[in-house]
Structure formats: structure tokens, C-alpha cells
């Protein structure tokens, strides 16, 4: 598991199948994330597809989204459906302040809570996530209408979130219709990961196919000395 206190910001690329996973792997993605872009912000893939993604990634770290449950019981079922796929992390939508009573996290597979920017999350939400047993926390946008993460939340609020994650030992991530030009400002906040989908697809269409050149450019920008120094 990556060190949540590390200053290195890694690249997360969301993929829909094994072919895209190979593109992300070869382009330099640090974390290859299985997600169905046709099914909203956190559309889950089938267990079979997730297994195929894991198989082509070799020793590259993987994750898979498990959906947008209404409550802890539904979240437990969504996570259980993908727990045996061999994926490194599972991600589940989680509303700020949601009651975690009855939440069953799968043994042996760390789970990342994904908070939606439209709900206004901040650092104050992090202690409860750590107490519930999550291994990480990420902010994404739920509506894929062209608005980006920073259209919903200002940089100081995002900085408070990533700082709270470090303080509580949680891996952090920032995503939400990000563009390559967002990398310097967001990397300076020291999240564990910056997550991309649409910004790495041709014509910025998240339901289209990934562009290998854009993946490589994102990896290059994140490894640039000035980003690493931030």
C-alpha cells in the first residue's frame, strides 16, 4: 500500500476493460482503476471484467469502483460482489456524514470512500471515514456535465481535505473532469493520487477511448521536478 504521507503524487487512470488497462499500464499510470463510464460517475464493472483488468496489469496497482449505494447495507453488498477479483483497492461512493453502522468492509481488500464534490466535503469528514475503517478517501464529481472539481470546491478546501487524510493515515485522491492543466495546482496540495478519465480521452469524451499520448503526457507532467517538489 502506498504511504499516505508520501510527497509523491501518483497518476490514476480509469479504464473500462483490459485493452484500456494495457494502454494505461504502458502509458505510465501508477494506479489503474476499473470503471464503466457509461454508468455514471462510479459505474461498477462486472467481476469478470475486473479480473481481466487485474490480469493485464501485472504488478501495477489496481482499483475498481463498486457503485453508488444508498446506505451501508447496500454498500456492503456492492463491495462483496467485487471482493474476490484480486483488485488492490475497492472504491465506493459515500455521502458525508453517512451512518456507517452495518457497513461490512471486505477482509484483505482496502476500501476508499469516494465523496462527491457537489456535497461540499472537506477535512472535517475525514475522521469519521477513518473511524469507519476506510483506508482512503477521494473527492470526485458526480455530475459529468463539463464542470470540474475546482468549479465546485476551492483549492483551500481541497488542501484541508488532503491534509486531514495525511493526518489520519488515509490515502487521498482528487478527481472530477480534470484536465492536464489542472496538474500543477492540484499536485501542490499533495494528494496521493490525481484521477483522470475524460481528460485523457480523445475530444475529452469520457465515454470514448483513452488516448495513449494523453496518458503519457499526464504521467510526464506528474513526474516533472516542479510537481515533485510541490
pLDDT of res. 225 = 60
Pull the grid cell for residue 1.
500500500
Pull the grid cell for residue 217.
503526457
Place of cell 489503474: 32
- Taken in order 58, 192, 158, 111, the sign of the CA dihedral is positive
**Residues that are catalytic:** 35, 91
Residue 80 within a domain:
yes
d(CA 163, CA 168): 9
Residue 224 within a domain:
yes
Residue 133 within a domain:
yes
Q: Are the beta carbons of 142 and 118 closer than 8 angstroms?
A: yes
Given pLDDT bands bounded at 50, 70 and 90, which one contains residue 4? confident
| % of the chain exceeding 70 in pLDDT | 97
Strands (E), the chain: 10-15, 31-34, 61-65, 89-93, 111-116, 136-140, 171-175, 193-196
Place of cell 474476490: 84
pLDDT of res. 143 = 87
Element spanning 81, H or E: helix 72-82
Q: Is residue 189's pLDDT more than 80?
A: yes
CATH code, 131: 3.20.20.70
d(CA 112, CA 42): 12
Mean confidence (pLDDT) of the chain: 94
Residue 3 within a domain:
no
Mean pLDDT of 171-200: 96
Q: Which domain holds residue 129?
A: 10-229
Strands (E), 41-110: 61-65, 89-93
Q: What is the CA radius of gyration of the chain?
A: 16
Q: Is residue 24's pLDDT more than 70?
A: yes
pLDDT of res. 226 = 52
Q: Which residues contact 140 (CB under 8 A, 6 or more apart)?
A: 41, 42, 114, 115, 116, 117, 149, 175, 176, 195
Class of residue 45 by CB neighbours under 10 A (exposed 0-12, middle 13-18, buried 19+): buried
Q: Is residue 19's pLDDT more than 90?
A: yes
Residue 96 within a domain:
yes
How many domains does the structure of the chain reveal?
1
**pLDDT for 88-132, tens place per residue?**
999 999 999 999 999 999 999 999 999 999 999 999 999 999 999
Residue 66 within a domain:
yes
Amino acid at each position: 500500500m502506498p504511504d499516505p504521507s508520501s510527497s509523491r503524487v501518483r497518476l490514476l487512470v480509469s479504464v473500462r476493460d483490459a485493452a484500456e488497462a494495457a494502454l494505461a499500464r504502458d502509458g505510465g499510470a501508477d494506479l489503474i482503476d476499473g470503471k464503466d463510464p457509461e454508468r455514471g460517475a462510479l459505474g461498477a464493472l462486472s467481476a469478470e471484467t475486473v479480473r481481466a483488468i487485474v490480469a493485464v496489469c501485472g504488478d501495477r496497482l489496481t482499483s475498481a469502483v463498486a457503485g453508488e449505494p444508498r446506505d451501508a447495507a447496500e454498500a456492503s453488498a456492492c463491495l462483496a460482489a467485487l471482493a474476490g477479483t484480486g483488485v488492490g483497492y475497492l472504491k465506493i461512493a459515500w455521502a458525508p456524514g453517512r451512518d456507517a453502522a452495518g457497513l461490512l468492509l471486505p477482509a484483505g481488500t482496502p476500501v476508499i470512500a469516494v465523496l462527491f464534490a457537489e456535497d461540499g466535503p472537506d477535512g472535517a469528514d475525514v475522521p469519521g471515514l477513518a473511524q469507519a475503517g476506510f483506508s482512503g478517501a477521494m473527492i470526485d464529481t458526480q455530475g459529468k456535465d463539463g464542470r470540474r472539481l475546482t468549479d465546485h470546491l476551492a483549492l483551500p478546501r481541497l488542501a484541508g481535505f488532503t491534509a486531514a487524510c495525511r493526518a489520519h493515515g488515509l490515502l487521498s485522491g482528487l478527481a472530477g473532469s480534470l484536465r492536464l492543466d489542472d496538474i500543477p495546482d492540484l499536485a501542490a496540495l499533495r494528494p496521493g493520487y490525481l484521477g483522470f478519465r475524460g481528460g485523457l480521452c480523445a475530444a475529452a469524451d469520457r465515454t470514448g477511448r483513452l488516448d495513449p499520448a494523453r496518458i503519457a503526457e499526464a504521467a510526464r507532467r506528474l513526474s516533472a521536478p516542479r510537481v515533485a517538489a510541490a
